[in-house]
Amino acid sequence: STPAGSSPVQRAQGELWRWSVVQALAIDGALAARAGLRWELSYNRHGARLAISGAAQGMRLLLSRVLHVMLNHDPERLTKSEWDAARRAAIVSFESSDSSVPAAQRVEVRQALQVTTSDEVTAEGARFLRSVDGANMLLAGPVGTLEAALLRAEVRRQLAPLLPPEGRGSDEYSAERADLRNGLADWEPLLYRPRWQPQPLAQNACFDCALSATLDQCGLLANA
């Protein structure tokens, strides 16, 4: 869930935290992209969505790495160039996405982002993680039963410190979980088009194992 009572500046700092996570995963993401894997972390009105795409046998490794970095992220570890890149991306992203902020207030938010410290971003990231009260997983494609169980177990293991223990508080969450099981219609708000990371590698179809052998631009010789 999203933290209650977030101001425009806090939401913008949360966006900077998100982009700093993207920067922290730049090397891992680039290596994963060359293996046909890609990922995305985005906010929505329900909280956040972490999406992973690629071959089933590689998804668990990338999922585990992304969750570990996200849950243990320290913006202080970023280099100056990484921090500057995250700040620029956060400013552009916030100005283009949060239409609820009046134009006059956008100037204030932009100025705040330009001087936001890593400590403030760390605090906002921690505030967001403390607001997490549940997690749901949707798998699509040829993912076997065993791999699906391993993916679920990995998510549960890493998110365990944030979620209520199994067997306690079950009444509070059972209704929501039951609603989610009613069908894909309940997932529709979370099925918006992802902006895969890392860019631009994640947009290169030639790194997709299922496509690279069928596309001329990936080196396939027509009529060979």
Q: Give yes or no for a contact between 193 and 203, defined as CB atoms under 8 angstroms apart.
A: no
Note whether 64 and 72 are within 8 A (CB): no
**The token pair that represents 203 in the structure block:** 């947009």
Model pTM?
0.81
Q: Which of 38-52, 55-69, 198-212 has the lowest mean pLDDT?
A: 198-212
Write the CB contacts of 141 (distance below 8 Å, at least 6 apart in sequence): 56
H helices of the chain, in order, are 8-24, 26-33, 56-71, 80-97, 103-115, 118-130, 145-159, 170-180, 209-212
For 170-215, write each residue's pLDDT tens digit. 444 444 555 555 666 778 888 888 888 877 776 666 666 555 555 5
Q: Mean pLDDT check: name the lowest of 130-139, 195-204, 213-222.
A: 213-222
- Residue 67's identity, in one-letter code, is L
Average pLDDT, the chain: 82
pLDDT of 136 reads 86
State the pLDDT at residue 36.
86
Dihedral angle over CA of 203, 205, 207, 210, nearest 10: 140
| CA gap 59, 150 in Å, rounded | 10
The structure tokens listed for 84 are 């500057």
